[in-house]
Amino acid sequence: MKNRIVLLGPPASGKGTQASLLGAVFGIPHVSTGAIVREERAKGTPIGLEADSYTSRGLLFPDELAIRIVDQWLGTHSRFIFDGFPRTVGQAIALDALLEQKSLGLQTVYLLELPDEEVRVRMLGRLTCSKCGAVFSENFHKISVEDPCPKCEGVLARRTDDTLEALDQRLAQYHEFTQPICDYYEKAGLLKKVDVRFGRDAVFQLLYNDLRTDE
């Protein structure tokens, strides 16, 4: 059974969904730096307020702050599925050092792979209900922006940040930062690649089976 896992993957790869499904089944905390910060901010802790000065301006945390946030969280947790962390090789190296201090090691890194073209189709076909917040896929749910929300009859809309230009920028940034992280974990013998085009359920089954083993 694996207890310390990192999930990597592009937007629309279903990373968050898989992390929360696995977390629920195995009782492992599914965690991101953003989620830790929201908790700390709600408690009004100094680190929460410091991090808030970045999130409130739409900025990513500097490596040094992201590592302090994770370091503090690891003080009370020894099992995790990290989603969206590490974001840089510097953070990956720092995470290894933090875990080594606790005599714990990262056990596996899953890279959810989805070709850029498929990411574009999935992201640009996303419609969000302006009333209840439900998210639908034009292709999967056979629905268009003119249709009412199937759940509450509300008005459906495309997210404004889902433009092709914004998406291509996000993808370029993803590749720039993620490729070196993959190389780093591949060298450490931890990287496992999963093709997510097989669909959510098949990917879940694969991850579920692998997590139950030690190899």
Catalytic residues: 15, 87, 126, 159, 170
Burial of 57 (0-12, 13-18, 19+ CB in 10 A): exposed
H or E stretch including 18? helix 15-26
5 touching Zn ion, by CB under 5 A? no
* Nearer to Zn ion (CB atom), residue 129 or residue 207: 129
129 touching Zn ion, by CB under 5 A? yes
90 touching Zn ion, by CB under 5 A? no
Separation of alpha carbons 69 and 7, rounded Å: 18
CB of 136 to Zn ion, least distance (A): 9
* Nearer to Zn ion (CB atom), residue 159 or residue 193: 159
Which residues within the stretch 141-160 sit at the binding site for Zn ion (CB under 5 A)?
A: 149, 151-152, 154
Separation of alpha carbons 83 and 67, rounded Å: 14
CB of 5 to Zn ion, least distance (A): 33
Q: 106 with 6: CB under 8 angstroms?
A: yes
CB of 66 to Zn ion, least distance (A): 35
Number of residues that bind Zn ion (CB under 5 A): 8
131 touching Zn ion, by CB under 5 A? yes
* Nearer to Zn ion (CB atom), residue 130 or residue 169: 130
* Nearer to Zn ion (CB atom), residue 120 or residue 141: 141
CB of 211 to Zn ion, least distance (A): 34
Closest Cα to residue 78, out of 35, 19, 27? 27
Separation of alpha carbons 87 and 61, rounded Å: 10
Closest Cα to residue 86, out of 4, 7, 172? 7
172 touching Zn ion, by CB under 5 A? no
Q: 87 with 60: CB under 8 angstroms?
A: yes
Chain residues that interact with Zn ion, rule: CB under 5 A: 129, 131-132, 134, 149, 151-152, 154
